[in-house]
Chain A
Amino acid sequence: MAENSDAQWYKDAIIYQLHVRTFHDSSGDGIGDFPGVTQKLDYLKDLGVNAIWLLPFFPSPLRDDGYDIADYTSVHPNYGTLADFQALLAAAHERGIRIIIEMVLNHTSDQHPWFQEARSSRDNPKRDWYVWSDSDLRYRGVRIIFLDTEISNWAWDPISKSYYWHRFFSHQPDLNYDNPAVLEAMWGIMKFWLSTGVDGFRLDAAPYLIEREGTSCENLPETHAIIRELRNRLDREYPGRMLLAEANQWPADVSAYFGQSDEFHMAFHFPLMPRMFMAVRLEDRKPIIEILEQTPQIPESCQWCIFLRNHDELTLEMVTDVERDYMYDEYAKDKTMRLNLGIRRRLAPMMENDRRRIELLNCLLMSMPGTPIIYYGDEIGMGDNVYLGDRNGVRTPMQWSGGWNAGFSIADPERLYSPLISNPLYGYQAINVESQKRSQHSLLSWMKRIIQVRKSSRVFGRGSIEFLRPSNHRVLAYIRQLGEEKILIVNNLSNSAQAVELDLRNHKGSIPIEMWSRNLFPRVGELPYLLTMGPYESFWFRLRRI
């Protein structure tokens, strides 16, 4: 790797999240594939991202968007071959882009040979690889995650005449990590992919590996032990690779997954995301400050992963009831926009296509402590289609141009895996990469610039954060600091002009240099530093002592 050769590369990364199926179709069958992604790597390099997180691409009955894996060591034929994947990996590394793939530890598809064997008879050697029970009353009180589709965490298997445990869909039986053979098998799979050269895994559903009676069956110490074991092996055999935890939990619970730098390298900060949306809608910084103040310190080598939108619904599990009601009322008035405990919409439509708010949210994302993730299409402000079932509304084909099938595929439009967005506001004729590349003022060009600015300093990925608390609560201001380098970020969360007085006495004598233009601002003195800000404006200043 030319760029970011140090072991903590993930701290400075800007991750682009995409699904092979949705990105670009090179074969003309209406479904995106690996060669398609490879062809578009230059676009991603131009955008400035330096890591790609690929959603599951394994053989699967595709009943949960690929998270129901039927074969862990192969690729789904729709997306190409293993060789195509390896070509993508090589081309990406050539451009300094790392690849993170999915690793679904917790469960398999019910079509996986292991499960087929396990259910075939009660004394099959694979029987103990899953969690079985004669009664559906074990582990009572454990919450059901997919409330809209599941009524129990147990499902009846008519073949072996017993119940199996599943935290997600009933076609996704949970693996039994109390059986050491399961761990060995999964490590074998991870080794397989590590040896092809992938740079990291996103471990899906990390908190649910182990079940114990009388507990919530989440975040158990035994689960942590398994993760420590995997990390230990990874560090020993494949140093410089990364583990990213998907644990939709409160920060205090998630931070346990960093361990003593001996579990995950990174973990998603789920509660922060809805609060960024909330803060902008409320025009009040309180939700953001409150949640970041509740976020514990994490070990030096660890990092939060932050995001605005992803392939799932905008999850509202990690908010209070009043906050959830508010989010629903403000961002998903139409009930079809809601799914489980969340909102299945993309960034731009949620912001009513208001460029200023889209930019403000991206400014927050890029300046908060953590590694940002950009969901494919959000860099051009793609829309969604809430009338497609499940979360498919935010998984429509990438809009490359205003031409045939938005430049995604040369197949007949009817053959596409999903209809394109075609409404006049968000449709591919209006919003596409091609046209935005032509304009210096497009959202895409702006995204390129902000990524550039972010990459100009390591403070964003590695520095500390200290909130300033001006009396104007509509202004969120903080100082990011790494060593002597200090960056002051001031965001106006409201849709009206605001004056704010910042107490910068600790930085007396510094000159604020606006980071986008490098314009100089008056030197900081003893008096409160007065700034006037336009609606949804964000200022980034490097504080320099000259």
Chain B
Amino acid sequence: MPEDVLLDDDFLRQLMNVGEVDILVGVPSHNNAKTIARTMEAIESSFQRNFWRERGVIVNVDAGSRDGTAQLAMEAHAAPRDGERGLNSLRTVHRIATHHGNGAFPGAAFRTIMAAADLARAKACAIISPDSGNVTSESVANLLHPIHRDGFDFVAPLYRRSRFDGLLARNVLYPFYRAAFGYGIRELHSGEFGFSGRLAAVCLAEDGGRDALRAWPEGWIATSAVSSQMRCCQAFLGARPPAPAVSGTDVVAAIRGAIDGLFCLLESRQSLWMPRTTAEPVQALGPDHDIAPDSPRINRKRILDMFRSGVSELRPVLQSILAPQTLAEIERLAPEADPQFRFPDEVWVKSLYELAGSYHRSVISRDHMIQAFVPLYRGRIYSFLLRHQESSAEEIEADSESLCLAFERLKPYLLDRWTAKS
């Protein structure tokens, strides 16, 4: 398939047969054999229960799974509703599939799905991730309804999460994005969101930014929506089961992907975020900071140890990324005793802004910068875990809000670091 052609002939033929649709749900998959069948069934049953009059299609874009995910996706079918003589929806619910070769890059799959949405003239679209593990017909409908019924163009999800879940989003992505772009969208990293056909067309027409789209598709799409004055909202999708605790290398990989995406987006959208000085809330449909009662068991001591060893061992690397004062403050934090340990908001925000500036100027390998940042993230997380062991949802939310305000207050510092020559 040539680089500039998004859809292969076979997929185009399938699209032609589907024709115009009202609702399109895209499911990017990569080795999801365990969850894909449930996901597809939930989407199909959402079509049957909530959109039975609409013309619908489910598009599976598989990134070359080796566990038969693609096959399972096409075979799983929702059980018919009871007592209706097996007649459950008015229309044929289409299921079409394509694949793209380049491994687990979700951005490529998203582009394919958006192109399909554009060609099929879909009005309301959603991307559902088989990773999330708790897709229900209601959650699919919650993503689609604001677009289909209320005319929104972009719908970010909201979840009820366990308190120590999504810490990177809470401590970096949400406040950073909110301060930079001026829109408080909480969840832009779950692989699930809704968008209108109009927005898909806008995103496809945008040249450049391919790196950013590849690195952080949701951020890119949300930003396209806000930059074209489209309506955005956040919709509650229900509880999200806590992500299983992970090992060190997984943490690095996840942070690398997320931060890289954020900074790529900053680079490709400079004209948009640099002049922006205020932040506005984005309408939330449903509760927006619910916390599930359960908490995963976490080895806190290890996190602290890794922060400490990181700060001392990586000094030369950190020196080239951070300003001397910031580094000095962090070094002062490191040996603090356990119960008093705090990673102050201001130091955290500054170190992130300095990282962004250094990243922008590529003072050393960008990948190395992000890796060197991971120990600092651990320090911040440790401080968070310590402080919010027993906190209520409101306390956590208040804390989160004050972090956001710190990010916003220090935005001139970000501009300063970003535009610095060396």
By a beta-carbon cutoff of 8 Å, the part of chain A in contact with chain B is 250, 278, 282, 284-287, 290-291, 294, 319-320, 322-323, 326, 470-474, 494, 498-499
**B85 x A320 contact (CB < 8 A):** yes
Q: Contact: A284 with B86, CB < 8 Å?
A: no
B91 near A: Cβ within 8 Å? yes
Contact between chains at A282 and B17 (CB < 8 Å): no
- Determine if A284 and B91 form an interchain contact, defined as CB atoms under 8 angstroms apart: yes
Listed in ascending order, the chain B residues whose CB lies under 8 Å from chain A are 13-14, 16-19, 52-53, 55, 84-92, 94
Contact of A286 among B19, B84, B92 (CB under 8 A): B92
B87 touches A291 (CB 8 A): yes
Q: Looking at the complex, which one of A282, A498, A499 makes contact with B90 (CB distance below 8 Å)?
A: A282
Given contacts A320-B87, A323-B87, contact A473 B16 (CB under 8 A): no
Establish whether residues A294 and B90, one from each chain, have CB atoms under 8 Å apart when the complex forms.
no
Given contacts A326-B53, A472-B16, A474-B19, 17 further A-B contacts (CB under 8 A): A250-B85, A278-B90, A286-B89, A286-B91, A286-B92, A287-B90, A320-B85, A320-B87, A320-B88, A326-B52, A326-B90, A471-B13, A471-B14, A472-B19, A473-B91, A473-B94, A499-B16
With A474-B19, A499-B16 in contact, is A320–B84 under 8 Å at CB?
A: yes
Closest B residue to A473 by beta carbon equals: B92
Contact in complex: B87, A290 (CB < 8 Å): yes
Nearest residue in A to B81 (C-beta to C-beta)? A320
User: With A471-B17, A474-B19 as given contacts, are A286 and B85 in contact (CB-CB < 8 Å)?
Assistant: no
**B94: which A residues are within 8 A, CB to CB?**
473
Residue of B13, B85, B86, B91 touching A282 (CB-CB under 8 A): B91
Question: Are A294 and B86 in contact, with the CB atoms below 8 A?
Answer: yes
Give CA–CA (A499, B52) in the complex, Å.
Answer: 25
User: Which 4 residue pairs are nearest across A and B when measured between Cβ atoms?
Assistant: A471-B17, A473-B92, A472-B17, A286-B92
**A498 CB contacts on chain B under 8 angstroms:** 19
Complex CA–CA separation, A287 to B52 (angstroms): 12
What is the CA–CA distance of A282 and B89 in the complex, to the nearest angstrom? 11
29 pairs from A and B in contact (CB 8 Å cutoff):
A250-B85, A278-B90, A282-B90, A282-B91, A284-B91, A284-B92, A286-B89, A286-B90, A294-B86, A320-B87, A320-B88, A322-B52, A322-B89, A323-B87, A323-B90, A326-B52, A326-B53, A471-B13, A471-B14, A472-B16, A472-B17, A473-B17, A473-B18, A473-B91, A473-B92, A473-B94, A474-B19, A494-B19, A498-B19
Taking the closest CB of chain A, its distance from the CB of B254, in whole angstroms, is 39
Minimum C-beta distance from A541 to chain B (A): 21
B contact residues around A285 at 8 Å (CB): 92
A369 to chain B, nearest CB (A): 19
Contacts of A471 in B (CB 8 A): 13-14, 17
**A291 to chain B: which residues have CB within 8 Å?**
87
CA of A371 to CA of B91 in the docked complex: distance in angstroms? 27
Give Cα A282–Cα B16 distance, bound, in whole angstroms.
17
CB distance from A310 to the nearest CB of B (A): 23
Q: Which residues of A contact B88 (CB under 8 A)?
A: 320
Q: How far is the CB of B102 from chain A (nearest CB, A)?
A: 27
A294: B residues at CB distance < 8 A: 85-87
Chain B residues with Cβ below 8 Å from A470 are 17
Report the bound CA distance from A319 to B92 in whole Å.
Answer: 17
Q: What chain B residues lie within 8 Å of A284 (beta carbons)?
A: 55, 90-92
Which one of B85, B86, B90 has the greatest number of beta carbons of chain A within 10 Å?
A: B90
> In the bound complex, what is the Cα–Cα distance between A278 and B87 (angstroms)?
13
Which residue of A has the minimal Cβ distance to B19?
A474
Q: How far is the CA of A421 from the CA of B372 in the complex (A)?
A: 85
CA A294 to CA B53, docked complex, whole Å: 22
Chain A nearest CB from B7 CB (Å) reads: 16
For the complex, what is the distance from the CA of A68 to the CA of B94, rounded to whole Å?
Answer: 49
B337 to chain A, nearest CB (A): 65
Q: Which residues of A contact B55 (CB under 8 A)?
A: 284
The chain A residue sitting closest to B93, CB to CB, is A286
Once the chains are docked, how many angstroms separate the CA of A474 from the CA of B17?
A: 8
CB distance from B46 to the nearest CB of A (A): 14
A199 and B324 alpha carbons, distance in the complex (Å) = 106
Taken together as a complex, chains A and B put the C-alpha atoms of A514 and B88 apart, in Å, by 36
A281 (CB) vs chain B CBs: closest residue: B90
Residues of B within 8 A of A474 (CB): 19
- The residue of chain B having its C-beta at the shortest distance from the C-beta of A251 within the complex is B85
Contacts of B14 in A (CB 8 A): 471
Within the complex, the shortest CB–CB distance from A111 to chain B, in Å, comes to 39
Question: With A and B bound together, what is the CA distance between A278 and B94 in angstroms?
Answer: 18
Across-interface contacts of B19 in A (CB, < 8 A)? 472, 474, 494, 498
